[in-house]
């Protein structure tokens, strides 16, 4: 069979899983409609599967009821798309008990395959450890948003260094360092020596050199593609990997295989692989 | 399909950035292989020089040597420097059609008189004005170039004075709601437009005639903006407008 190539780019289309998507920023009246829209656009760029987390609108510091409401939106969005979409459960270190209940509902008893920690509280807090400890019973990945903003972080916003400290306490749990800290020149080095942390390419400008540097610093098996769509363009973020001076095998790892490998145990357990 | 890329930089790197993509000649050949038949190329050396003229001359000479792709010099103008009239006249004699302005680097904004002088002189010399609105998201900019985003809203208040076309490079257009559809002669490039399906959504907001393909190469991965042309389901006529015709028409209209 002839290899499909992207027009303009003249690059073969590689199978991709997008490890970072939201229903927020997508048009549609319901979670189902938003998911349909998101997947239509993903498919145009060879993205086979997306991982969605958090509902809409974005809430920095959700209370337990809001966590449940947002997780319900994601569960609804996943309903018709188990072959093409996966979900992480939105939790908050400020409410470890409620978060544990959400993990039981959405991961243990539901289809979700990991958790999303955002900016309610830094991941060095005791609540985070409690939540991660609980998740570790069921497998699944911990996705932690991280930034090192040149303009200053939010009070509850974790840095890659915070994440490395957390991840060292749970060496058997795979962690994803969302945005690679934003300022990736600094973020990559902060997680370099923590082997259970993967760095993620989503949600910053597609500045050339990022993905090559990520491979240099943490190795080709610890870099995963994500976009942060709908707020970000699938294209702008995917272009970081397609445009990188890497070989085809390295691009395949980053676009799909690395994420698939860390999710494999829980996907197999749920019959989703 | 043929493309014109209106946002290319020939020399590199910016201070605080790594040099990516190899020497300029190699990068230009790669752009040509992706269907880019013409690029409008600026010079960071000119942007950072106390007087951009020597670096501009070098840029003009380098561009003259290229046919595939054709490379048009987008020369840097600092409108706060003296003899602006003479500078524009010299550039016109050298065949320059595009001037590139970077207000925060030279200490003015779009409400200030130097900007409007540049627009007036560009119109007189049948040139297109490009305004570089940002280098990168401020949250990730290295301290060496941490400049604020240029605010394009003064263009609206003085729309009647916009005698030359103004192309806003690296401007997140969705933030400025009604600016573009409301003001004649203002255009944006694709480089920093964000959001899933962004081009189709932007066309809904500002129309297909205001949008030009720009890759911001080599600072950004060129692939990022090429893939935007595929991400949205666009009618062929819109795709051709963004990729080629709008840029062509800008030069012809002048
Ligand atoms: Zn996100």
Domain ranges of chain B: 3-252
CA of B5 to the centre of ligand 1 (A): 30
The torsion angles phi and psi of A180, rounded to 5 degrees, stand at 50, 30
Min CA distance, A42 vs chain B (Å)?
8
Q: Which of B224, B225, B192, B221 is nearest to B20 (CA)?
A: B221
Q: Is A39 a residue whose pLDDT tops 60? A: yes
- Chain B contact probe: residue of A20, A28, A207 with most B CBs at under 10 A: A207
Do residue A7 and residue B229 have CB atoms under 8 angstroms apart? yes
Q: Where would I find the H helices in A45-116?
A: 64-78, 96-103
pLDDT digits (tens, 9 = 90+) for B59-80: 999 999 999 999 999 999 999 9
A180: nearest CA partner in chain B: B140
Q: Which of B27, B41, B37, B40 is nearest to B68 (CA)?
A: B37
CATH T-level assignment (fold) for domain A88-270: TIM Barrel (3.20.20)
**Chain A residues in contact with B33 (beta carbon < 8 A):** 10
Average the pLDDT over each of A20-34, A52-66, B72-86, B147-161 and give the range with the smallest value. Answer: B147-161
Element (H, E) at A199: strand A197-200
Question: Please, what CATH class does the domain formed by B3-252 belong to?
Answer: alpha beta
CA of A18 to the centre of ligand 1 (A): 12
A236: nearest CA partner in chain B: B224
- Judge contact between A118 and A93, C-beta under 8 A: no
CB-nearest partner of B196 from A9, A38, A239: A38
Mean pLDDT of B76-90: 98
CA of A181 to the centre of ligand 1 (A): 12
B196: nearest CA partner in chain A: A233
Q: Is A1 a residue whose pLDDT tops 70? A: no
Average pLDDT of chain B?
94
pLDDT score of B82: 97
- Chain B contact probe: residue of A11, A225, A236 with most B CBs at under 10 A: A236
Q: Is A156 a residue whose pLDDT tops 60? A: yes
Is A111 near chain B, with CB under 8 Å?
no
Is B15 near chain A, with CB under 8 Å?
no
């Amino acid at each position: 069979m002839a290899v499909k190539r992207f027009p303009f780019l003249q690059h073969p289309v590689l199978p991709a899983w997008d490890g970072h998507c939201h229903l927020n920023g997508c048009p549609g009246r319901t979670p189902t409609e938003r998911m349909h829209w998101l997947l239509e656009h993903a498919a145009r760029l060879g993205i086979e599967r997306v991982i969605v987390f958090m509902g809409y609108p974005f809430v920095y510091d959700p209370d337990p009821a809001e966590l449940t409401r947002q997780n319900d939106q994601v569960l609804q969005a996943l309903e018709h798309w188990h072959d093409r979409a996966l979900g992480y459960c939105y939790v908050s270190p400020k409410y470890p008990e409620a978060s544990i209940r959400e993990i039981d509902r959405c991961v243990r008893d539901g289809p979700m395959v990991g958790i999303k920690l955002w900016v309610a509280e830094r991941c060095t807090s005791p609540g985070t450890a409690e939540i991660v400890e609980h998740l570790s019973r069921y497998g699944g990945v911990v996705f932690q948003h991280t930034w090192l903003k040149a303009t200053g972080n939010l009070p509850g916003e974790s840095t890659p260094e915070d994440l490395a400290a957390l991840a060292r306490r749970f060496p058997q749990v795979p962690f994803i360092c969302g945005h690679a800290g934003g300022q990736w020149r600094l973020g990559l080095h902060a997680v370099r020596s923590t082997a259970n942390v993967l760095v993620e390419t989503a949600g910053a400008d597609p500045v050339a050199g990022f993905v090559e540097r990520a491979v240099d610093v943490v190795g080709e098996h610890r870099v995963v593609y994500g976009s942060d769509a709908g707020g970000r363009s699938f294209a702008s973020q995917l272009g970081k990997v397609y445009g990188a001076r890497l070989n085809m095998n390295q691009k395949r790892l980053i676009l799909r295989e690395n994420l698939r490998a860390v999710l494999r145990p829980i996907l197999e357990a749920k019959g989703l692989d | 399909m043929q493309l014109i890329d209106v946002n290319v930089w020939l020399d590199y790197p910016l201070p605080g950035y790594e040099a990516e993509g190899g020497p300029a000649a190699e990068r230009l050949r790669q752009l040509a292989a992706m269907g880019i038949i013409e690029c409008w190329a600026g010079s960071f050396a000119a942007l950072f020089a106390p007087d951009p003229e020597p670096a501009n001359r070098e840029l003009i000479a380098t561009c003259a040597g290229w046919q595939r792709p054709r490379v048009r010099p987008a020369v840097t103008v600092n409108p706060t420097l003296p003899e602006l009239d003479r500078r524009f006249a010299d550039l016109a004699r050298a065949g320059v059609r595009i001037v590139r302005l970077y207000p925060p680097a030279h200490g003015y904004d779009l409400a200030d008189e130097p900007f409007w002088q540049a627009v007036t002189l560009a119109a007189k010399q049948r040139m297109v004005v490009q305004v570089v609105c940002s280098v990168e998201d401020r949250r990730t900019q290295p301290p060496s170039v941490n400049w604020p985003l240029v605010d394009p809203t003064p263009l609206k208040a003085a729309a009647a004075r916009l005698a030359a076309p103004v192309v806003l490079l690296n401007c997140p257009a969705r933030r400025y709601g009604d600016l573009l559809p409301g003001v004649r002669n203002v255009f944006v490039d694709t480089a920093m437009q964000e959001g899933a399906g962004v081009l189709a959504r932007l066309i809904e907001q500002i129309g297909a005639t205001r949008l030009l393909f720009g890759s911001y190469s080599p600072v950004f991965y060129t692939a990022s903006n090429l893939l935007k042309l595929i991400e949205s389901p666009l009618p062929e006529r819109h795709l051709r407008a963004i990729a080629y015709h709008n840029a062509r028409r800008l030069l012809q209209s002048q």
